[in-house]
Amino acid sequence: MSHSHTVRIWDLPTRLFHWVLAASVVGLVVTAKVGGNWMEWHFRLGHLVLALLVFRIIWGLVGGRWSRFASFLYSPSRVLRYLRGEGQASDSVGHSPLGALSVFGLLAVLAAQVASGLLSDDEIAFAGPLTRFVSNAIVGQATTYHKEIGQYLVIGLVALHLLAIAFYVFVKRQRLVMPMVQGDKLLDAPAAASRDNAISRIGAAVVLAICAALAWWVSSLGMAAGF
């Protein structure tokens, strides 16, 4: 007779990061397409994403067990075994091998988009806060990437991410959304839980405050802050 085990997989800081980042990315895409006065919000959201990305990097080292990069840093051979249907039971606890690739891909593409935004200049009204520290050639390259390549990479990866979630939810019948809302996951076998207590949450708040201060400082470096 099998028993189900309820395990805290996603700590509160990770869950908040996930949903705030998702809302911010949607807001960035919308404000960029609308333009005009909405670009002010585009800049603010860009700085917010910068703070979130720095936070996630730090939290990937010191956060809850299943939020740490070490828990979903899979070898190529393990990814191949998972694709062949020969995965291990632990592959479905936190991020699966495919889910891990999606996470790292999204973080990398978002980081590149934020970095290029900091160096972009629309030559009309707005310039990134770091444009005055680099040559015009670099500004031009960053602007081209930000507008013509990066944004479509972000949209494409987000679309693939949503399609993958839909596949796992409706085809493989795996609950992925609610655990990222509630934190707990129903597993067939016992698994170590993520640390998610008051001390951990206070520590995350301190880290986030430092990351927010860093993003604010970066935004203040230019003559005209913005993305």
Nearest to 150 by CA among 225, 222, 158, 216: 158
The partner residues of 8 in beta bridges, in order of sequence, read 184
**pLDDT tens-digit series, residues 93-113:** 999 998 999 999 999 999 999
Whether 224 has a pLDDT exceeding 50, the answer reads no
Nearest to 101 by CA among 121, 80, 135, 73: 73
How far apart are the C-alpha atoms of 54 and 83, rounded to whole Å? 31
Whether 225 has a pLDDT exceeding 50, the answer reads no
Please report which confidence band the pLDDT of residue 227 belongs to, taking 50, 70 and 90 as the band edges: very low
Whether 9 has a pLDDT exceeding 50, the answer reads yes
**pLDDT tens-digit series, residues 30-54:** 999 887 888 889 999 999 999 999 9
How far apart are the C-alpha atoms of 53 and 35, rounded to whole Å? 24
Are 220 and 131 a contacting pair, CB within 8 Å? no
**pLDDT tens-digit series, residues 145-181:** 999 999 999 999 999 989 988 888 888 787 889 999 9
pLDDT of residue 226: 43
Identify the weakest region by mean pLDDT among 7-16, 67-76, 129-138, 161-170.
161-170
How far apart are the C-alpha atoms of 150 and 24, rounded to whole Å? 16
pLDDT of residue 92: 83
pLDDT of residue 174: 78
Radius of gyration for the chain, computed over Cα atoms and rounded to the nearest angstrom? 19
**pLDDT tens-digit series, residues 119-152:** 998 777 778 999 999 999 999 999 999 999 999 9
How far apart are the C-alpha atoms of 38 and 32, rounded to whole Å? 8
pLDDT of residue 2: 53
The rounded percent of the chain whose pLDDT value lies above 70 is 96
pLDDT of residue 217: 96
The rounded percent of the chain whose pLDDT value lies above 90 is 71
Please report which confidence band the pLDDT of residue 222 belongs to, taking 50, 70 and 90 as the band edges: confident
